[in-house]
Chain A
Amino acid sequence: MFGFGVLKGMSVTLWNFILSYVYPKKGITTVQYPEQKKEVEERFRNFPFLVYEGAPDNMRCVACDICSKECPPKCIYIIPEKDAQGRVQKKPATFDIDYAICMNCGICEEVCPFDAIFMDHEYELAEYERLSSLLYHKEDLLKPVEHFAKIRPTDYGRIEATRAAKGVKGRAQPVAGAPPKPAETQQSPPATS
């Protein structure tokens, strides 16, 4: 068993060894993480966030609860706001997403009819404590539309075009007539400690 095949194999590794010094752009493929960061593709999806226009109070979400029903691992928990007479408003009082359970599959973004929830690009979310600190409440989830426009320009363009076409203008005043069917909130709240 003579070593010509072995020598041919060793020539490949020697070539890679030399390449890594002579022509690092092709020879070295690793990214030195903390110093250099690999920029993320536009459609990259990490955990969801809620969108508001202008002030955080003027958020697009109307607490229709479709996303929490569609979410495969059931990690979204919504309680709609009630005004003085107890009538349900079209705004969520609490909107929790448990980032520990969410598997960033992006289904909530697809099914949301009001373009209120989108997947973020932020992936440095390490926490010290698993249960409570990964349960994001409404305040932590809210981000301006400009952030969405910055991270995903093409999607933002497409969605704005459809919204303009449908003539959806900003925050609809609460319709005086019959309030929408109170969204039943029967799904079990996620494991809150």
Chain B
Amino acid sequence: MSDTAVHSQEPQLLEVSIGPQHPSTHGVFRMNVVLDGETIVKLKPVMGYLHRNHEQLAENMSYLASMPYTDRLDYICSMTNNFAYAMAVEKLAGIDVPERAQYIRVLMAELTRLINHTLLVGFLLNDLGAFFTPTLYAFREREKILDFFEATAGSRMMCNYFRFGGVKADLPAGGMEQVKEIVKNYSRFLDEFERLLTSNEILRSRCQNVGILSKELAVNASITGPILRASGVNYDIRKVDKYSIYDRFEFKVPLGKVGDVYDRYYVRILEMRESIKILQQLLKQMPEKGEILSAKGAAAAKSPRMWKPPAGDAYGRIESPKGELGFYLVSDGSPKPYRYHVRPPSFINITILEDMCLGQKVADAIVILGSVDIVLGEVDR
């Protein structure tokens, strides 16, 4: 703080703690904010209220037993959590995945991306003050996808659907028609959402040039996901690692220029349109029949608590809707993992929350936190 002229005494700083019980912190997350009037002078995030020591739990259970716990990491996109964990174990134990299971996995991952981005836009508008209308439109569309998840995996949010080497069960009888229906009118819903929001002057003036994140700081602070791409860095793990069968689909990666809250909002809308393109291609290429669990996978699933992967360590990562979600597993040959570490995107994306909020208003801090899209299950593990 530049030392202002002698006669004006130091400005009356207001120490406010936003959270952990606050209407718009997406869960139990606290920000100790020091305000000079309405502008933020200092911001210290405090977390750990939802810490369940998921990693120690996983070290005392068999590999399959911690699969349902990965649903509870980022409870909005449980399918992608399962996907990342399944890939990590497959890399560790060298299990192959049959053709149809790969297609089902990409189908589930892209549907989860649609859910996550739609919900995020809804909650971002809630932080901006729109009285729940965009959120409830988002929920209305999410219900259709969740019905499909319930029909295939058995549970709407806690799917526990992926197994090492494939998936638990094939699509139900009417499954393909349900997906076709969802994909067909999702782009119509996105047009309605954009008509409601994108050209809204109040939204634009509230979000443009707020919480700007430069390219260099984003890369240096290992930010991943839509926030990184909104700052203009072209890094999408689906394109970099080409894991699973993503190389068979032709889709673009939208990049922003300024890297502020408005870019993060609009990059997510464009990513949803790309996901719809992937789903359309997937529906055309998907083989009608095929086994959904490879031989090695079936062996692992027969008696999970006896199954012993070879010793060694492996790091599997995917492009989850919030960023790079990775699992680092060390196995010592016993049925229980020796070390089980989750690399959560939300936890690392808030490292530079303070840099984005300095000098902004209180209302902006809430909006920036909303645009960073954190889920506390994943931050605290």
A93 at the interface (CB under 8 A from B): no
A171 to B68, CA, bound (A): 33
Most B CB contacts (10 A, CB to CB) among A3, A5, A6 go to: A5
Give 1 or 0 for each of B45-86: 1 = CB within 8 Å of chain A CB. Answer: 000000000000000011011111100000000000000000
What is the bound-complex CA distance between A58 and B202, given in angstroms? 68
Q: How far is the CA of A1 from the CA of B202 in the complex (A)?
A: 9
What does the 1/0 interface line of B135-170 toward A look like (CB < 8 Å)?
A: 001001001000100111111001010000000110
Given the interface contacts A29-B140, A41-B150, A44-B154, does A107 sit within 8 Å of B201 by beta carbon? no
Task: Digitize A77-113: 1 where CB-to-B-CB distance is under 8 Å, 0 elsewhere.
Answer: 0000000000000000000000000011111001100
Q: How large is the interface on A (under 10, 10 to 19, 20 to 34, 35 or more residues)?
A: 20 to 34
A168 interface residue (CB < 8 Å to B): no
The digit string for A1-33, where 1 denotes a CB below 8 A from any CB of B, is 111111011011100100000000000010000
B200 pairs with A107, CB closer than 8 A: no
Q: Which residue of A lies closest to B151 (CB)?
A: A41
Given contacts A42-B151, A154-B173, contact A110 B199 (CB under 8 A): no
Chain B contact-residue range equals 35 or more
CA distance A29 to B136 in the complex (A): 10
Q: Is the CB of A41 within 8 A of B147?
A: yes
B contact residues around A29 at 8 Å (CB): 140, 143
Q: Contact check, A6 vs B151: say whether CB atoms are below 8 A apart.
A: no
Say yes or no: B64 contacts A107, CB within 8 Å: yes
Q: A9-B197, A70-B65 are in contact. Are A1 and B205 (CB under 8 A)?
A: yes
B172 contacts partner chain A, Cβ-Cβ < 8 Å = yes
- CB neighbours (8 Å) of A71 from chain B are 65
A71 vs B150: C-alpha distance in the bound complex, in angstroms? 21
Contacts of A40 in B (CB 8 A): 150
Of A3, A6, A12, A103, the contact of B192 (CB 8 Å cutoff): A12
Query: Do B158 and A105 touch across chains, with their CB atoms under 8 A apart?
Result: yes
B interface secondary structure, majority: helix
Residues of B with C-beta under 8 A to A42: 151, 172
B195 contacts which of A8, A72, A103, A107 (Cβ < 8 Å)? A8
- Name which of B14-22, B110-118, B297-305, B321-329 contacts chain A: B297-305
A143 contacts the other chain (Cβ, under 8 Å)?
Answer: no
Whole-angstrom distance between the alpha carbons of A191 and B158 in the complex?
Answer: 24
The residues of B that contact A3 with a CB separation of less than 8 Å are: 201
A137-154: contact bitstring with B at CB < 8 Å (1 yes, 0 no)? 000000000000000001
Residues on the B chain within 8 Å of A111, using CB: 303-304
Contact B195 A9 (CB under 8 A): yes
Q: Which residues of the other chain, A, contact B351 by a CB distance below 8 angstroms?
A: none
A8 CA to B195 CA, complexed, in Å: 6
Q: CA of A105 to CA of B168 in the docked complex: distance in angstroms?
A: 12
> B195 and A70: CB pair below 8 A?
no
Report the minimal beta-carbon distance from A66 to chain B, rounded to whole angstroms: 7
Please state if B66 and A44 are interface contacts (CB–CB under 8 Å): no
Could you list 10 A-B pairs, sorted by A, with CB under 8 Å? A5-B199, A5-B201, A9-B199, A12-B196, A41-B147, A42-B151, A43-B153, A45-B154, A103-B158, A107-B160
Q: Which residues does B use to contact A, with CB under 8 Å?
A: 61-62, 64-69, 133, 137, 140, 143, 147, 150-155, 158, 160, 168-169, 172-173, 192, 195-205, 301, 303-305
